[in-house]
Amino acid sequence: MKVLFLHQNFPGQFRHIAVYLARQADADVLAIGREQAPGLPGVQSLRYKPHRTASPHTDPYACTLEERVLHGQQVLRLLLDLKGRGYRPDVVVAHPGWGESLYVKEPFPTAKLIHFCEYYYQVEGDDLDFDPEFPASIDDKVRVRSRNALHLLNLESCDLGITPTHWQHSLHPAAYRDKIKVIHEGIDTAKLGPDPMATLSSPNGRVLRAGEPIATYVARNLEPYRSFHIFMCALPRILREHPTCQVVVVGGDDVSYGSRPKDAPNWRGRMLRENPVDPERVHFLGKVPYEIYKRALQVSAVHVYLTCSFVLSWSLLEAMACGCLIVGSDTVQCGRSSGIVKMAYWWTASIPRHSPSRQRRPLPTPQNTPNCTKQHGARHRRIRVRWGREIKFPMKNQASTLAEPGHRLSGDTWVYR
């Protein structure tokens, strides 16, 4: 079976399934990503670069769609070249959010197209109007509604969709939900877990050790979508009430979602200006290699996961796998209804989603939750075993989905549950 992966930042969410399939003797795996995509050892990758950006004269509501069309055109050129050399994929697995799979069916009409349906934007009720501090304008709402035009094209063109959680599944239009399966991409629990001997060197030279009162916060970038501003508003009180507590913050100063602050280069600078903290106790690591990130979780006593109503982060699941006590936002994707976190021991600080008082509420730590800390650690170790067995690599689910359209791999390996 020939499997083609399309992801502008390949491997992205396809890391585990791509590695798994690349090891199978009867699978031929190829990937296409943008010029900066990191790729994977053992997986042949082709890269593309759009020949231009959207025109400055394009209406702002249509600008994103034009950008995605340009991505799709460039990928189409690669696909036509592959076809001219005799390549015929059986299955194409794509993250369609950047438009790369818009024109897959033109050169390969018989290939089964599987889309990773990550998010369908809502005009009301989720990320757009989550925080009253950042109210959505009518312009924002119209722009988001227009952005869904791409996702509707993607839903119409794919043979099958995959989405990580039941909550994300529920966001998609009812007419398409039957063709979308809930299959999480998985985390590698074999490489994660509590380590009582773990240490982490901070930028100021201090060595932090597992077992010490350490709180962690992690995001790809430090920004309001992951409620960084709420975390920073709570920090002064946490530090004041817990004088021995150390805090480790992992994340960059770019913007993954939303926009930059208007009065500062980045959100870290803006929030430090409003909420000064002791640099000897609050350690900003920036973006770090995975091993350092893992050590940060392993020395952590409390992991703070705050977010608006948006896609669930790998960091939450990986913190759980490392045995961290979790303090999280009271949002639907973090709760038991998500279909993923319902397996976990979910201990929440009950931080309300719309109350300004949340900015002054202390985040619990092991010092003021003594009865749950030991129970929590033991239960998360049990949960980690369950994740390792059932969810670690949902390969049987994912590979069965690849095989369902009529491309079965070997024997009884593929059993969809």
Rounded Cα distance between 76 and 81, Å, is 9
Q: What is the pTM of this model?
A: 0.82
CA 177 from centroid of its chain's CA atoms? 21
CA 321 from centroid of its chain's CA atoms? 16
Rounded Cα distance between 99 and 254, Å, is 23
Ordered DSSP codes for 325-348: EEEEB--GGGSGGGSSGGGS----
Rounded Cα distance between 333 and 153, Å, is 25
pLDDT 10s digits, 61-73: 999 999 999 999 9
Rounded Cα distance between 214 and 390, Å, is 30
CB 225 within 8 A of CB 256: yes
Rounded Cα distance between 30 and 9, Å, is 14
The DSSP 8-state label assigned to residue 78 in this structure reads H
State how far the alpha carbon of 378 is from the alpha carbons of 171, 234, 347, in Å: 35, 28, 14
Best CA proximity match to 400, nearest among 31, 17, 2? 17
Where are the extended beta strands (E) located within 204-294? 207-209, 214-221, 246-252, 282-286
Rounded Cα distance between 317 and 165, Å, is 13
For domain 189-391, give the CATH number: 3.40.50.2000
pLDDT 10s digits, 124-141: 777 666 777 777 788 888
Question: What is the residue-level pLDDT of the chain in tens, covering all 417 positions?
Answer: 999 999 999 999 999 999 999 999 999 999 999 999 999 999 999 999 999 999 999 999 999 999 999 999 999 999 999 999 999 999 999 999 999 999 999 999 999 999 999 999 888 777 666 777 777 788 888 888 999 999 999 999 999 999 998 989 999 999 999 999 999 888 888 888 999 999 999 999 999 999 999 999 999 999 888 889 989 999 999 999 999 999 999 999 998 887 898 889 998 999 999 999 999 999 999 999 999 999 999 999 999 988 877 788 889 889 989 999 888 877 655 554 344 444 333 333 434 444 444 444 445 444 444 444 445 554 554 444 443 434 344 445 555 566 554 443 332 222 222
pLDDT of residue 326: 86
Considering the chain, tell me which residue range(s) the CATH 3.40.50.2000 domain(s) occupy: 2-186+393-403, 189-391
| Phi (first) and psi of residue 395, to 5 degrees | -70, -40
For domain 2-186+393-403, give the CATH number: 3.40.50.2000
CA 413 from centroid of its chain's CA atoms? 28
Structure tokens at 304: 């703070």
> Dihedral sign, CA of 228, 239, 297, 384?
negative
pLDDT of residue 48: 97
pLDDT of residue 341: 45
